[in-house]
Each structure stands twice: as C-alpha cells, then as structure tokens.
Amino acid sequence: MSYKDTKMYSILSNKCPHCHEGNFFEDNNPYKLKTFAHMNNRCPVCNEDFKRETGFYFGATYVSYALTVAFGVGLYILLSVIGNMDTVPFLITFSILLIILLPVFYRLARLTWINMFVGYKKTNKAN
Ligand SMILES: [Zn+2]
C-alpha cells in the first residue's frame, strides 16, 4: 500500500475520498481567501457526491474542535513547557495562529469528516 492509497493522502492533498484523484475543494490553495471554502459538488473524476445530505458537514465541527485542541496542547507544550513562555503571550500567539490557520483547519476538518464515511476504491479512471 503506497501513501497515495491512504486516507492521509486524501486529507492532506485535497483529494476525493473515494478515488483519490479528483479535487475535493475547487482550488488546492487554502489561502485564496475568496474561494477557500468552495467545494466541488461532485468529484470531477469519479462523480462521488461531496455534498451528501443537508447538514452533513455539521459533524466536521467536532473534527475542527479536536484539531484545535490538539494543536493548542502541542503548542502549549512547545512554547510554555519547553520554551517557558508566560500564559498571556502564549494565548495571544495561539489566537493569532488559529486565525492564520483557519482555512487549513476548515479544510482538514471537512476532508477528515468525509473520509470517515467514504472508503477508498482504486479505480482505473472510469468508474
Ligand atoms: Zn473521486
């Protein structure tokens, strides 16, 4: 099994969870702020339905929360425990980084969420 066959590949490379070929978000760059949240309705390669049912992505907020907590704990250990940073500067740094990383977390949360429900199926382009 190569890296391209893993869910990690789909999540980190903005790929369809079903075929790992088509883009999930329209543009690969999360920092094109006007379009960072624009998803394709369907996979351009295998036609997998990305929108699914109404409210499907509500669950992605839990993933987003988990990512934020994990990031916060990691940053805290790095800056405060190892780096001896005080609480207030730490919280300011954490807040700024969260804002900067928002488009990335938003995408990781949605891609992780849909990958929990859609399995990978290797295709020969046509499906
Ligand atoms: Zn696909």
pLDDT in tens, 41-94: 999 999 999 999 999 999 999 999 999 999 999 999 999 999 999 999 999 999
The stretch 14-19 carries a mean pLDDT of 98
Whether the predicted pLDDT of 30 surpasses 90: yes
Report if pTM > 0.85.
yes
Chain-centroid distance of CA 70 in Å reads 14
Return the ∠ at Cα 1 (arms to 23 and 47), rounded to 5°.
Answer: 25
User: Which pLDDT band, with edges at 50, 70 and 90, does 126 fall under?
Assistant: very low
Separation CA 65–CA 61 (nearest Å): 6
Each residue of 99-122: pLDDT tens digit? 999 999 999 999 999 999 999 998
Spacing, Cα 55 to ligand 1 middle (Å): 21
Spacing, Cα 14 to ligand 1 middle (Å): 11
Spacing, Cα 65 to ligand 1 middle (Å): 27
Spacing, Cα 18 to ligand 1 middle (Å): 5
Q: Which pLDDT score, from 0 to 100, does residue 124 have?
A: 61
Task: Count Cβ atoms within 10 A of the Cβ of residue 17 and give its class: 0-12 exposed, 13-18 middle, 19 or more buried.
Answer: buried
Spacing, Cα 122 to ligand 1 middle (Å): 10
